[in-house]
A and B are shown apart, each in its own frame.
Chain A
Amino acid sequence: MGRKAQKNDSLPGSLDMLILRTLSRRDLHGYGIVQFIQQSSDNELLIEEGSLYPALQRLELNGWIDGAWGVTSNNRRARIYKITAAGRKQLAVETRQYTKLTLAIARVMGME
């Protein structure tokens, strides 16, 4: 790990979106979600792994994801999360907002 990876605190609330996005591709357990986010960002995004769990609780309480006990690929008991219909709607909403926001920032920075 040569370059210091970026910690995901520049955009508060984006963790929820990342989790929802990850789960919209496939059902995963907590560790799997972290790995997936890191791998798919080429290790650019380094989330504070512990923060994942309060976020998962919040999402579940909001009814956006559903956790159930299952078995991981290497045969260990884990809570596997899947996205709900409400979660997909929420993901759409958040994606829209995020896109708007980044576009706005990019415009200001004159990068467009």
Chain B
Amino acid sequence: MENAKRSEALREEMELHLAEKAAELQAEGLTLERARAEARRRFGNVGRKQEESREIWITRFWSELGQDVRYGCRTMIANKAFSAVAVLSLALGIGTNTVIYSFMESILLRSLPVADPESLVVLNWHSPPPRDGSKEWVHVMHGVQGMAWPGDKGAMVSGMFPYGAFETLRVENPVFSTLFGYFNGLNRNLSIHGQATSASTEFVSGEYFRGLAVSPAAGRLIDTGDDRPGAASVAVISFLTSQQRFGGPSSAIGQSVLVDNVPFTVIGVAPPEFFGVDPAAAPDLYLPLHTNLLVDGAQAARMYPDGNFYWIEMMGRLRPGVSMVQAQAVLAPRFHQWVAVTATTDGERAKLPALMLNPGAAGLGSLRRQYAKPLYVLLTMVGLILAIACANIASLLLARAAARRREMAVRLSLGAGRFRVVRQLLTESVMLALLGGAFGLLFAIWGVRALTFLLSNGHENFTLHAELNWNVLGVTAALSVVCGLLFGLAPAIQSTRPDVMPALKNGRGGGPRRRAQHVLVVAQIAISFLILVAAGLFSRTLNNLHSVQLGYARENILLFSLNARQAGHRDTEIVAFYADLRKRFEAIPGVSSATLSQSSIINAARAGQAIRGPMKIGAVTVEDARVLAAGPRFLTTMQIPILTGREIDDRDQPGSRPVAVISERLARTYFENENPVGRSITLPDEKRDLEIVGVSADVRYGGLKNEEESAMTVFVAVSQFSSDRVTYALRTSGDPLRFIQSVHEIVREADSRIPVTNVITQAAEIDRTISREITFAKLSKGFAVLALLIACVGLYGTMSYSVARQVGEIGIRMALGAQRGAVVWMVLCRVLLLAAVGLAISVPAALSASQLVKSFLFETQPNDPGTLALAGVVLLSAAMLAGYAPARRASRIDPLAALRHE
């Protein structure tokens, strides 16, 4: 009972006492005042008496808890097998929940490590879909550097703006104390003391650090004076970079570095916990916005005045007292006014972007958009597993409650309060749960690491760092206690219910408890089925993805990227440089061929095409063909068959006649039965005619999940097109990763300013594009095994118990001539019945729940009958297996012994 209530009652009692005493004394002739004083004197110190009483309750509480805990320990030790099963299944249940929750915490809940993150807002816009009925792009956004993502009802949402919009919103802003801009500068060549590495870069406006309210770890941060054309070129580096490259923050200040061969001076180091505004990224380098004029030259200069090119992102800090809604109301019309001017046609005017503010406390939402839904799916699965585990322990406790009914009866009849006994039982179950939680935490430490590894899937600078912080630990502890109460309450109440005591005393009976156990088993089976179906669907999806016909080699290929332009190489010479390197790689013993291309085939769609717009063959426009710029021996290295003619080779030089190799599908579609070799294809960019020199087999261009199967491909010579960053591919004998050392040596020898980046095998690069599916398949398989295991233990326990209760009945049946087989069958029938009821409940649930994960599936229907059937068969076999041991035991009952016992 709550102490506050008790205190209040005590106070009232004491007051009454004093009043009555005073009244008595008054009746004896004292004045009212004297009577009151006398009553108080005789009573003693009221405050101290209250204190004494309180002490009695509190010591009582602790001593009872101590008793309960000691008693609980003894019971746990006495029932080692039961305790082990309970703790283990809880540990797995709570552990998996902790792992998934710690990821959710880091992705969905954690705020940016800056002062007052709640007042930050992100500026986004949304507009109707840009493509019209005939798939033409009609939108004021003519070009974009960055991301747009789908919003509600096909709308387009993005955080990119033209520079003009930033300037317009920045001046005299009544709702923001600061408005700052930035854009992702991707990877740049950062050369320090002649040592080059690839560094992720963020270009930030002068207000960026002030707006985020970040203080430097050393030196000073970029301010408005640094961010204008012609200012001294300065840089701020991340804390980690300062440690790795300069040996500490203070020694980095004042050093000069080269960024893509342009000199910068390091003026400051960002604080260690700072990672910019995007939890998905952690820039090594922060440069003033306008220094992109130095680093990117003319291309950057074109971006500033272009009102139709979207490239800068914005965040603002609300003035005190201004809400996000108010800010949006002020800024949206201003943006509308500005953007209306940039529209040139009615079509563009009809779907102008509208400004939309979003909370910025947690930074940009790219990680949230990417992982939120998968994490909710996983959280549901682990939540269900925990439910099975709890049901399991509840059912074991119910069975044990029967074994302990005498103990309970004795304790109740000796005058122990029912509340007291329930409390003691609950203490036991909470102890089990806490022990489970503790082991679960150990499991979670391992699990977080394993899942980080799975999700990152080899990505360099993977920024998703989940950790077991106090928040997560608190949730785990709370979860354990709630679980303990949840699975302990029902058995505790039932085993101490006064009206069932007489029934329990004479043995058999126990109807309600058995029913409760059956309900629990059915629920466990139903939940296991859901998880099995999920595992089946995700595994099928992964299988389908793995059996996608690529058309090129997956194994024994090493990929890595170089960017010579960022190290200062220029046109014409750069081609010779790349060609020379290719020959040197090919000369490595164990490398049978080497080639280069604008990107790996799997990433070609994401890397962007070398050429945009429709190509023509004669007067015919080629629809949907993709262009991949490739170097000599590309088809050989990738093991793409050459059907006629030749592949691109060393003869194809910048000055010679431009050539192309087309894929079979393209050849068949546009040349039908003619030989395309010797014919030409026209590219849109400079109206260049390419001579077709060969036909290759079809390849799958871009990722595995692309809708258009094996799109038509045009290979052009990488030497005849401008190439900045190239990806080399080496065909190796044996493990490709063994050749990394040789590659580094060759590149260092050729030009030590060029870092080798994105070193990976082709197989891993392909798997990386389906890392979510791989993670889902692996995790859900693990979860399914876990769920099945726990449910089977529950089923086994329930059936063993029920057989033990029926020894007499089975003995009679056998004495009357029942065969052993018939007894086994009788028990198995009951198992099957429970499983069937579980399935009957679960199938409709699975059908509707699987619709929710439809977007995670590939070439698999959510109601895939094969998967459902397989899940059902697995479940039934597991149930039979779990039920067989008790059934066999039932058939071994000696009728004589059983009846004598009766």
Contact = CB atoms under 8 A, between A and B. Distances in A.
Interface of A: 29-31, 34, 48-54, 57-58, 61, 63, 76-79, 84-86
Nearest to B55: A54
Contacts of A61: 56-57, 60
B417 A30 contact: no
A50 B45 CA distance: 7
Given A51-B44, A54-B49, A57-B53, A63 B21 contact: no
Contacts of A54: 49, 52-53, 56
B44 A48 contact: yes
Contact of B13 (A48, A78, A85): A78
A84 B52 CA distance: 23
A77 B20 CA distance: 12
B46 interface: yes
Contacts of A85: 415
Contacts of B49: 50-51, 53-54
Given A49-B44, A50-B45, A63-B417, A57 B57 contact: yes
Interface in B12-56: 12-14, 16-17, 20-21, 42-46, 48-50, 52-53, 56
A22 B60 CA distance: 25
B21 A57 contact: no
A63 B417 CA distance: 8
A63 B415 CA distance: 8
B415 A53 contact: no
Minimum-distance CB pairs A-B, first 3: A50-B44, A50-B49, A54-B52
Contacts of B13: 29-30, 53, 78-79
B213 interface: no
B898 interface: no
A57 B10 contact: yes
Interface string B390-432: 0000000000000000000000000111000000000000000
A61 B52 CA distance: 14
Most chain A CB within 10 A, of B6, B17, B21, B48, is at B17
Majority DSSP secondary structure for residues of B touching A: helix
Interface of B: 6, 9-10, 12-14, 16-17, 20-21, 42-46, 48-50, 52-53, 56-57, 60, 415-417
A53 B14 CA distance: 8
Given A53-B49, A54-B56, A58-B56, A31 B21 contact: yes
A84 B43 contact: no
A53 B16 contact: no
Contacts of B17: 30-31, 34, 49, 52-53
Contacts of B48: 50
A48 B44 CA distance: 7
Contacts of B46: 50
A50 B43 contact: yes
A49 B415 contact: no
11 contacts: A30-B17, A49-B43, A50-B14, A52-B17, A53-B10, A54-B56, A57-B53, A57-B56, A57-B57, A77-B16, A78-B13
A86 B416 CA distance: 9
A12 to B, nearest CB: 15
A77 to B, nearest CB: 8
Most chain B CB within 10 A, of A52, A57, A58, A84, is at A57
A20 B16 CA distance: 21
Given A48-B44, A49-B43, A50-B44, 15 more contacts: A30-B14, A30-B17, A31-B20, A48-B42, A48-B43, A53-B10, A53-B53, A54-B56, A57-B10, A76-B16, A77-B16, A78-B13, A78-B16, A79-B13, A85-B415
B2 to A, nearest CB: 14
Contacts of A57: 6, 10, 53, 56-57
Contacts of B416: 63
Contacts of B10: 53, 57
A83 to B, nearest CB: 12
Contacts of B43: 48-50
B6 to A, nearest CB: 8
Nearest to A34: B17
B576 to A, nearest CB: 94
Contacts of A86: 415
Contacts of A79: 9, 12-13
A104 to B, nearest CB: 30
Contacts of A49: 17, 21, 42-44
A53 B49 CA distance: 7
A21 B6 CA distance: 24
Nearest to B52: A54
B504 to A, nearest CB: 22
A13 to B, nearest CB: 14
Contacts of B417: 63
A77 B16 CA distance: 8
A49 B9 CA distance: 17
Nearest to B60: A61
B622 to A, nearest CB: 90
Contacts of B6: 57
A29 B44 CA distance: 18
Contacts of A78: 13, 16
A42 B20 CA distance: 20
Contacts of B53: 53-54, 57
Contacts of A29: 13, 16
Contacts of A63: 415-417
Contacts of A51: 44, 49
B871 to A, nearest CB: 54
Nearest to A1: B28
Contacts of A76: 16, 20
Contacts of B50: 53
Contacts of B57: 57, 61
B54 to A, nearest CB: 9
A76 B14 CA distance: 13
Nearest to B417: A63
A49 B19 CA distance: 13
Most chain A CB within 10 A, of B6, B48, B415, is at B415
B39 to A, nearest CB: 8
B42 to A, nearest CB: 5
B56 A31 contact: no
Contacts of B415: 63, 84-86
B8 to A, nearest CB: 11
A85 B385 CA distance: 47
Contacts of A53: 10, 13-14, 17, 49-50, 53
Contacts of B16: 29-31, 76-78
B813 to A, nearest CB: 46
A29 B21 CA distance: 13
A79 B574 CA distance: 97
Contacts of B12: 77, 79
A38 B267 CA distance: 89
A49 to B, nearest CB: 5
B680 to A, nearest CB: 100
B838 to A, nearest CB: 44
Nearest to A46: B42
A35 to B, nearest CB: 8
A70 to B, nearest CB: 12
